[in-house]
A and B are shown apart, each in its own frame.
Chain A
């Protein structure tokens, strides 16, 4: 039962254009969402997050949008740069879910972003 899904295994974008990475979730108890970036042979690094009380959070070139009714979030990168080429993971956590999910992160499958010069 995949509670967090990233349905696009890969995305290719031209430098300077917008990259849009998508993520869907099924657990309505999730209330905190994060994006991680991962380069080869390195551990994932935190990129940006959003709480369920917001629908948008911005940090420089990165913006995350949350649509709670659709159980969908997206990460926008504008403008995209070749250094953004990496695997992007969406993750979610629940404040409370039978007491067992507090602070626990559930990840999606990841999307490989390639930004061409």
Chain B
């Protein structure tokens, strides 16, 4: 059972380049999330989705876009990468609704030079 799978695991980008991070879950979860983790900042929510075809902004959405065309996939895009986007990115999914926990992927370490 794969759970939540993130692709790629590592990536180095040059400033101004674009890329897409892919998240796939096989638990038939309604909710999906993208977080970034930075030292001393914890996990900050970038964007999330409460169902196929829906997206919403989290705490730190600027510079990112997302799409949820299929229930099992949640894509995070960086149109023009900046050094401030160097971080570890985590995707998560949950059943949604009250009293539910989220399950996380293994993370993507992105460096923008």
- The chain A residues found within 8 Å of chain B, CB to CB, are 4, 6, 9, 31-32, 34, 36, 41-46, 49, 51, 89, 91, 95, 100, 102-110
Q: Mark B69-103, 1 if CB is under 8 A from A, else 0.
A: 00000000000000000000010101011111111
Q: Apart from A43-B105, A44-B104, A104-B31, what are 4 other A-B pairs with CB-CB below 8 Å? A: A102-B98, A105-B33, A106-B45, A107-B43
Interface residues on chain B, number (Cβ under 8 Å):
29
**Cβ of A20 to closest chain B Cβ, rounded Å:** 19
Q: Is the CB of A46 within 8 A of B101?
A: yes
- The chain B residues found within 8 Å of chain A, CB to CB, are 4, 31, 33, 35, 40-45, 48, 50, 56, 58, 90, 92, 94, 96-107
Q: Is the CB of A42 within 8 A of B107?
A: yes
B-side contacts of A42, CB under 8 Å = 106-107
What CA separation (Å) do A91 and B101 show in the bound complex? 10
Contact of A109 among B4, B35, B41, B56 (CB under 8 A): B41
B-side contacts of A6, CB under 8 Å = 42
Contacts A43-B106, A109-B42 hold; do A95 and B35 have CB atoms under 8 A apart?
no
Contact of B48 among A45, A49, A51, A104 (CB under 8 A): A104
B-side contacts of A103, CB under 8 Å = 31, 50, 94, 96-98, 100
A-side contacts of B102, CB under 8 Å = 46, 105
| Most chain A CB atoms below 10 A, which of B48, B50, B58, B101 | B101
Q: Is the CB of B107 within 8 A of A9?
A: no
B-side contacts of A108, CB under 8 Å = 42
**Cβ of A1 to closest chain B Cβ, rounded Å:** 9
Contact of B107 among A41, A45, A49 (CB under 8 A): A41
Q: Is the CB of B101 within 8 A of A34?
A: yes
Q: Is the CB of B99 within 8 A of A32?
A: yes
B-side contacts of A102, CB under 8 Å = 50, 96-98
The residue in chain A whose Cβ has the minimal distance to the Cβ of B3 is A43
Q: What 3 pairs across the A-B complex have the smallest Cβ distances?
A: A43-B104, A109-B42, A107-B43
